[in-house]
A and B are shown apart, each in its own frame.
Chain A
C-alpha cells in the first residue's frame, strides 16, 4: 500500500508549506456573487481549521454557504459570478489564494480532493469508470496505461467494489447509486490526498447504503490519517462521525464546537432550534418545534445578527450589532450576543 509515502508528496516542494501549520486553515473568507439582481454576500468572514485525521462537519441549510466555502478551498468556484473579496485559505501554512494557477492544480487532487453529492452527474457518462480514475494517474503521476489500470483496480478494491477487475471497464450508468459514490471516492483517493472534502456524500442514497458509505469514509480516513470536511444538512450523520462541527447560517459560522458539547448544549439559538425541529426515530412527539420564517436572501442580509428575524430570544442589540465570536471554552465559539447565558441557562 503506497498510502504512507503519500504524506510527503505535496509539502516536499516549494517554499510556502510549513510543517508546523495546521493542515487546512480557512481564515476570514469573504465571497460575493455579483448578479444582475445585485451583490449576494455569500460568505461573510468564514474561518475554520482542520488537522490531519480530524473530521470537521460543516452543517447548514441550503444557501448557508457551506458548499461555496468548499468550492473556494478547492479552487473550483465559478468566477464570475463569484468574487473572493477577502481572507486566506492556508494549506500547510501556504496561502492558496495567492498561489499560481499551476501550484493550485498541483494541490488539487494530490493535496485536497473532493467528492460530490450527485455521483451520476459528477462522473463523465462517456468514459469508463476505470478511464476516469486512470486519467489522473497518467497525467499527474506519469504512469503507463498498464500501471494506471492496475492501480485503478486496486483503488476500486479498496472502496470494496466487488469484481473490481470487471467493473473497471464499465460505464457509470452500469453502477448503482452506492457503487457510483464508491467509484467517486476511489477517484478522489487516486492521488493520495491529505485532505478530503465530501459535499453531501450520502444525501442521494438510501439509509442502508448511506451507512455503508459513511463506514467506508471513516475507515479510509483513519487508515490514511486524512483530514475530512463533511458538508451536510443531516444532523444524524454529523452526530455519528464528526469530531468538530461548524454550523453555518447566511454565510457565517454561527457556532463551532466539538460534537458532544454541541448536541448536549447548543451555544447558539439557531443550533438549538435546528435540533428541536428534528423528528427523532427514538422519540415520538406531538408537535415539532419550528423555526419561524425563512432564511434571509443573501442579496439583502438583515443588519446585526443575520438570524435575528427568526430568533426566539431576540433583543434590540441583535438588530443593530453583528455579534462577535464569543469564546465559550477552548475550541467552542458562538456568534450570539447571549451565548454565555445560553450555555449557563437551565
Chain B
C-alpha cells in the first residue's frame, strides 16, 4: 500500500515567446515542462536531476502554484491542486513550502531574521497566536542549528550556510508536509554543503517531511534521495529508486550524465569509461521530433525521430523513455 502525497499527471507548462512592441504577438512557446508524471510518496525524497534548461525549476514553481500550469493535473492528498481556491488554497500553501537556491537573494536584506522566519505567521495567524510567535521563531532557529539569540540580526551578518539555514527555518515555520528544495546547496562550499545536507536529512526524520529535491549535482541527489527522476528538455526520461538509477541506468542520457560526473579518486583516472556528449541541449522552443535526446544520442535510429518513446518499463524494473533502453553500469 503506497501513500502518495502528491500525484502529478501529464503536467505541461509552456511560456509564450512574444515579439513586437505595440502589437505583441506570440511566435512560439518555450516548452519548459512538457508532459511530466510522477508520484511523491509520504516521507520520501524524490530527487529531480537534469542539465540547466531542462525544466526542473519550472516544475518546482508549478508545484508551488507560483505559475499556473498550461495543462495536466496534480493532486495533493487526493484533491486537485490546481482547482483549489480560498481557504483550501491557503491551507495548501501552508502544506507545501520551498527552499530556494541562492541564500543571498532569497532573504530580504531589510528584515531581521526574526521577521523573516516569523513572516509566515502573519499570513497564517492560526498556526501561532501573536503572543507565542517570538518563542516559535526562537525554537525554529534552534531546530536548524542557529543561535536563537541572533533573532534580531540581519541576513548580511550571516554566512552563506547560515543564511540557507534561515531559509529552511522559514520553510519549516508553518509545519508543511512537503518541501520543494530547488538547488538548496549548490551555492555553498563543500564543507558547508555537507552541514546543510545533514540538516535536511535530520529534519525529514524529525518532522516526517516529503522532499522534492531539485539539483544538478548527481552526487548530492544520490546522497539524499529515495527515488530519482532524470529530466531532459521538459520530460522525465527515466525514473526509479536511487539504486535503480545509479546502479542500473537504462536511458542513454542518464548513462552519459552519470559517467560525466568526476569521481574524487585519482586512482580511477583513465580507467572509467566516460560517455562524451556532443554539443548543448537543444532549444526548448523547438525541441527535436520524436525522442528529444536523439540529436545527442549515439544510439539514435530512424525510429527515434519518428516516434516519441513512452516512459514505460522496458528492460529493467523501472520506467525508461528510450526505444533502445539497455542496462549499463557507469558508476565505478
- Which A residues are within 8 Å of any B CB, using their own CB? 61-62, 162, 176-179, 206-212, 214-215, 233-240, 242, 259-260, 263-264, 273-275, 277-282, 284-285, 287-291, 294-295
Contacts and interface: CB of A to CB of B under 8 A. Distances in A.
Given A277-B190, A278-B190, A278-B219, A211 B264 contact: no
7 contacts: A206-B52, A208-B256, A211-B260, A211-B262, A274-B190, A279-B220, A291-B191
B313 to A, nearest CB: 24
Given A215-B276, A239-B269, A288-B197, A62 B189 contact: yes
Interface string B187-198: 001111111011
A238 to B, nearest CB: 7
B191 A290 contact: yes
Nearest to A263: B266
Nearest to B272: A240
Contact of A61 (B189, B258, B331): B189
Given A212-B276, A279-B222, A290-B198, A206 B51 contact: yes
Interface of B: 51-52, 159-162, 189-195, 197-198, 201, 216-220, 222-223, 242, 246, 256-258, 260-269, 274, 276-277, 279-280, 331-332
B194 A239 contact: no
A206 B160 CA distance: 22
A259 B266 contact: yes
B260 A208 contact: yes
A233 B257 contact: no
B267 A260 contact: yes
B51 A235 contact: no
B219 A281 contact: yes
B264 A285 contact: no
A207 B197 contact: no
Q: Which 9 A-B pairs have the closest CB atoms?
A: A236-B262, A277-B194, A279-B223, A61-B189, A291-B191, A206-B51, A288-B194, A211-B260, A235-B264
Contacts of A277: 190-191, 193-194
B106 to A, nearest CB: 18
B190 A287 contact: no
Contact of A281 (B160, B162, B190, B222): B222
A236 B52 contact: no
A281 B242 CA distance: 11
A259 B192 CA distance: 24
Contacts of B220: 279
Contact of B222 (A211, A259, A275, A284): A284
A326 B265 CA distance: 24
Contacts of B279: 162
A149 B218 CA distance: 41
A214 B260 CA distance: 11
A239 to B, nearest CB: 5
Given A210-B262, A279-B197, A284-B246, 11 more contacts: A206-B51, A207-B51, A211-B276, A236-B219, A239-B266, A260-B267, A273-B191, A281-B261, A281-B331, A290-B191, A294-B161
B237 to A, nearest CB: 14
B295 to A, nearest CB: 13
A263 B191 contact: no
B191, B192, B220, B262 — most chain A CB neighbours (10 Å): B191
Contacts of B246: 281, 284
A341 to B, nearest CB: 22
Contact of B269 (A234, A240, A281, A291): A240
A162 B246 CA distance: 33
Contacts of A285: 223
Q: B192, B242, B265: which has the most chain A beta carbons within 10 Å?
A: B265
Contacts of A278: 190, 194, 219, 264
A210 B216 CA distance: 12
A281 B266 contact: no
A314 to B, nearest CB: 16
Contacts of B198: 287-288, 290
Nearest to A61: B189
B280 A176 contact: yes
B34 to A, nearest CB: 19
Contact of A233 (B162, B189, B269, B280): B189
B263 A281 contact: yes
Nearest to B187: A62
A288 B192 CA distance: 11
B267 A263 contact: yes
B51 A274 contact: no
A289 B197 CA distance: 11
A179 B280 contact: yes
Nearest to A209: B280
A122 B332 CA distance: 36
A266 to B, nearest CB: 12
B190 A178 contact: no
B263 A239 contact: yes
A206 B216 contact: yes
B159 A236 contact: no
B219 A210 contact: no
A284 B223 contact: yes
A242 B216 CA distance: 24
Contacts of A210: 260, 262
Contacts of A294: 159, 161-162, 192
A98 to B, nearest CB: 35
Contacts of A177: 52, 280
A180 to B, nearest CB: 11
Contacts of B268: 239
Contacts of A233: 189-190
A237 B201 contact: no
Contacts of B258: 281
Contacts of A274: 190-191
Contacts of B195: 290-291
A177 B264 CA distance: 25
A131 to B, nearest CB: 23
